[in-house]
Amino acid sequence: MNVADMPTDVAAATRTEDLLAAVRAIAQGPLAERAQAIDEGAYPADLLHALGAVGAMSAHIDQPGRPGSYMDAMAAMAEAGKVCGATAFMMWAQAAAALYMDASDNEALHGERLQRHLSGATLGGTGMSNPMKCFAQIENLLLRATPVNGGYRINGTLPWVSNLAAGHYFGAVAAVEGEPGREVMFMLHCDAPGVTLKPCPRFSGMEGTGTYAVQCKDLVIGAGDIVADPCRPYIRRIRAAFVLLQCGIAAGITQGAIDSMWRVEDQLGHVNQYLDDRPDQLQAELDDLLATVARLAETPYDTSEAYFLDVLGARLAGGELCLRAANSALMHQGARGYLMSSDVQRRVREAQFVAIVTPAIKHLRKEVAALCADTLPA
């Protein structure tokens, strides 16, 4: 039977299964072989193109004959994340860039350009860490935009932007000079004149994520690259979806950790029974969280405060759970998990990354506290 002829829910379930089967084939085949190399610094461009080709980083976007499903996009990320957290993180970056382009009113970002991105033919990322922290009053905007004929001249340096290489692009925000409180969001091309990618100091893991500091010197942005101007109303519309998608990374790393506990249960269960956070308990917590995430994934563009609080709460729970799961997996595996070649110790560093990448646990809590506080007259 052709998918197009099936009842909608059956067709959707079939699409989900097909997508996850295709992602699983990549994840447990070539990705599993290269996960350690990626951790140590090898950027897997070919695997990302392959994941894009099977629709692993575009499932959340409405496409002709296929309504977008945020849950499918997160499930695909999780499928890769069980094997390699760094790859799940890059899938998130690519998916976030897709969201920026798709949600923009600028037609120049749609059409062929969006299709090439959705199919993974071209790759991109997100430089939104700094603006997200800026809007949460954690830091100042680092890029400055000076209006020029029909566009802007951009200056400044953005630290730590991921999924980059020559030919890639990412969503960024700059403060408009002379207009306090106004910012412009745009797609920044790594190859554009005035842009320099500068290598970062060596991190303890996730080294193959194409992460650079991006220096802009008189970079000119034209109308075709503007995502939103001004950008605050736009960001209000997409911020929950942006944060929610990250739950896919956390879910994958947590599931990978739980799976690694079961792998030693037969041999070590007699001593592992004395540990905190046993795999069945963690699985029950992960399943609860995924049920919440699935409910939230039905309305990703809800702009209400209550919904955003729920999303922040789910992302927070994901970060905390994957830290506990990865740590407990190492306790369960013992010395074999502590080997430099073990996925179990790598996953501890991946989980720590989920907990510190924007929005980090501390940022999420600060944001939740601010949203919970009473609004009173000034």
Residues that bind other proteins (CB under 8 A): 130, 139-140, 142, 156-160, 198, 200-201, 213, 215, 281, 284-285, 288, 306, 309, 313, 316-317, 320, 365-366, 368-369, 372-378
Stretch (H or E) spanning 280 = helix 279-296
Q: How far is the CB of 85 from other proteins (least distance, A)?
A: 22
Q: Which residues of 300-333 are buried (b: 16+ CB within 10 A; e: fewer)?
A: bebeeeebbebbbebbbbbbbbbbbbbbbbbebb
CA distance linking residue 100 with residue 304, whole number of Å: 19
Tokens of 364: 């999420």
Q: How far is the CB of 306 from other proteins (least distance, A)?
A: 7
Beta bridge partners of 169: 124, 189
> Which amino acid would we find at residue 246?
Q
Pairing state between β 183-189 and 226-228: antiparallel
Three-state DSSP at 227 gives strand
Beta strands in 1-143 (DSSP E): 124-126
Q: How far is the CB of 173 from other proteins (least distance, A)?
A: 14
Nearer to other proteins, 137 or 157 (CB): 157
Pairing state between β 144-148 and 169-176: parallel
Q: How far is the CB of 378 from other proteins (least distance, A)?
A: 7
Nearest to 87 by CA among 32, 138, 126, 130: 32
Q: How far is the CB of 376 from other proteins (least distance, A)?
A: 6
Nearer to other proteins, 1 or 373 (CB): 373
Nearer to other proteins, 166 or 373 (CB): 373
Cis peptide before 230 (omega within 30 of 0): yes
Nearer to other proteins, 306 or 340 (CB): 306
Nearer to other proteins, 6 or 368 (CB): 368
Nearer to other proteins, 207 or 229 (CB): 207
* CB of 229 closer than 8 Å to CB of 236: no
CA distance linking residue 311 with residue 67, whole number of Å: 21
Q: How far is the CB of 318 from other proteins (least distance, A)?
A: 12
Tokens of 262: 């079961």
Q: How far is the CB of 142 from other proteins (least distance, A)?
A: 6
> Which amino acid would we find at residue 196?
T
Three-state DSSP at 82 gives coil
Q: How far is the CB of 55 from other proteins (least distance, A)?
A: 33
CA distance linking residue 272 with residue 333, whole number of Å: 9
Nearer to other proteins, 126 or 130 (CB): 130
Nearer to other proteins, 77 or 251 (CB): 251
Q: How far is the CB of 162 from other proteins (least distance, A)?
A: 13
Helical spans, DSSP H, in the chain: 8-26, 32-40, 45-53, 70-81, 85-103, 111-118, 129-135, 232-245, 247-263, 265-272, 279-296, 305-333, 335-338, 343-356, 361-372
Nearer to other proteins, 19 or 360 (CB): 360
